[in-house]
Structure 1
Amino acid sequence: MRSSIMFSKRHGFATVPPIQFRHDAPGGLRHAVIQAAYEHLSYSQIRTSICRTLYLVPNQGNWSEIPNIRDEVEDIIQGVEWYQVYDVIEGLVVFIEGTIGYAATEGFADRVNMIFSDTGAGWQFVAGDGIIIRGDGDFEEAVASSRDSLLQTGYDVAAKEIKEALGDLSRRPDPDLTGAVHHALGALEATARYITGSNDGLAKLASQIGLPKPLDQALEKMWGFASNSGRHVSPTNQPTPQQAQLIVHLSSAYCRYLADTSK
């Protein structure tokens, strides 16, 4: 049986490319996604899923799988807006699960994530969340470990706020940057309230939650910056994508530290 892992990966020659794009879906990625779906579905089924997602009418004059329906599917996926490609992928996940079952869905999702990684896409598919933003290794580790620690300690509200922050960063076609900052701060504030039992805001609780100096002061400064960007919104005071992602990253790291030390 042929291995699904390519030679370069099997022998350790392949390296993971850096993230190169988010607001895009290059032609190679689009084609690769269709071929990944074709490992589980016929082109007719792929067309049904895509048309269902994008509210399109299939070309009834195309009846042969290859080349007619195959070419129709390829023309559609190559012609839609970049963000619709990711909608199509999420639709295919649902279609495969409903048609074949969970095992096939998992295989397709794994293949899609490999495509994202190999092409440098700043996205990833996560079961239960859909396609969400993918950051560098440090960002991913901070967010994932933070959510795990918060859930393990019963800080469910804080964990939900981290998830909401990721969701805002992942909105397509335009991320909700102020929303991401707002929810990241909400995760920190909820964690601080769990620890202290107080309903005060984070600005007052920063020095009471057990952070060693000068981390408590750094948290206060981050709160001041993020509060201006995420809570006092104005046309001239919008966070940049990099700033919003940094706040989510730092908030996740703080939440994990506080959750772990409160156990």
Structure 2
Amino acid sequence: MTFSKRHNFAKTPQITVRTDAPDGLRYAVIQNAYDCVPSYNEIRSVVCRVLLGAPDPNNWSEVPNIRDEVLYDIRHCDWYKVYDVAEALLAHIENTRGYDNAVQYAQAMNDFFIGAGIGWQFAPNEGIVYRGDETFQVATAEAAKTLDATGRKNAATEIEEAIRDISRRPDPDITGAVSHSMAAVECVAQDVLGSEQTLGQIVGNLNLPKPLDEAVSKLYGFASQHGRHVSEQSRPAPEDAELLVQVSCAVCTYLAKRTGGA
């Protein structure tokens, strides 16, 4: 464990990187993999497979030739391919070196993502997914836990789909994230009331405290406008989708806990 971790001096920088792969990340993807798979030849085979490039037959020695070839390839590929390479390396590590080494790689990458202010993270069994600020992380994690504990599998699936949509690379599916996040709220509301009507029709029957009832109604209207009837002029921004996913998670958690079983 490093000095900063032992003494809890680490800070969580603001997220500033989403549609990019800085040089430091490109290096970390390879170096962290080498710490788990001490063979640049193996790493090169994974990198070449993902980038669809043939390995240089003139490079035989691990260091510096194959190492430098791998670093060159990762440094010059499209930003989103860097994340594809990281996912492929994680799968290779788990298949050849075992679960513990895969966890080591994922954790090392997550530490780098946080420290470098990069808005992505490895999630168990999901690859690299969207990482929001601390409140976003807490809200989504709490919603997943509560919905699972109360048996709301459909709502939990909708939240997973929303996060999956906002995590798409290189272009997030913003409208999908908006639609799925509000569908999660609708699922919970229907379950609470035993109704098959839309959220817009039943939100007044949920006995939500004011002004939360009006807020949920307006969120539903926003989702209907921007998630279902999208146009070039009405396409929401990624930060709008992040906010809606976060609020939807909080509302789902609130409704599920209020009705017991969590």
Q: TM-score range by the shorter chain?
A: over 0.9
Q: Which runs of 4+ in 1 moved over 4 A?
A: none
State whether residues 90 and 131 of structure 1, in contact with CA within 8 Å, keep that contact through their aligned partners in structure 2: yes
Corresponding letter in the other structure for 1:143: T
| Aligned mates of 1:173, 1:38 — CA distance in 2 | 26
Structure 2 counterpart of 1:236: 233
Q: Is 1:207 equivalent to 2:209 in the alignment?
A: no
User: What is the correspondence of 1:183-194 to structure 2 with a 5 Å cutoff?
Assistant: 183-194=180-191
Structure 1 counterpart of 2:10: 14
SS in 2 for 1:62: coil
Alignment match of 1:151 (pick from 127, 148, 152) = 148
Corresponding letter in the other structure for 2:135: D
User: What is the correspondence of 1:47-62 to structure 2 with a 5 Å cutoff?
Assistant: 47-62=44-59
Q: Is 1:168 equivalent to 2:165 in the alignment?
A: yes
Q: CA deviation at 1:14?
A: 2.5
Structure 1 counterpart of 2:33: 37
SS in 2 for 1:150: helix
Q: CA deviation at 1:206?
A: 0.9
Structure 2 counterpart of 1:216: 213
RMSD: 1.0
| Aligned mates of 1:110, 1:148 — CA distance in 2 | 21
- Report % sequence identity: 49
| Aligned mates of 1:159, 1:12 — CA distance in 2 | 34
Q: CA deviation at 1:128?
A: 1.2
| Aligned mates of 1:52, 1:209 — CA distance in 2 | 52
| Aligned mates of 1:113, 1:213 — CA distance in 2 | 39
SS in 2 for 1:207: helix
Name the TM-score, length of structure 1 as normaliser: 0.96
Name the TM-score, length of structure 2 as normaliser: 0.96
Structure 2 counterpart of 1:259: 256
| Aligned mates of 2:195, 2:186 — CA distance in 1 | 10
Structure 1 counterpart of 2:92: 95
Q: How many residues are treated as equivalent by the alignment?
A: 259
Deviations 1:158-212 (A, max 9, x none): 0000000001111000111111001011111111111111110000111222422
Deviations 1:233-255 (A, max 9, x none): 11111001111111101000000
Structure 2 counterpart of 1:125: 122
> Which ranges of structure 2 fall in alignment gaps of 5 or more residues?
none
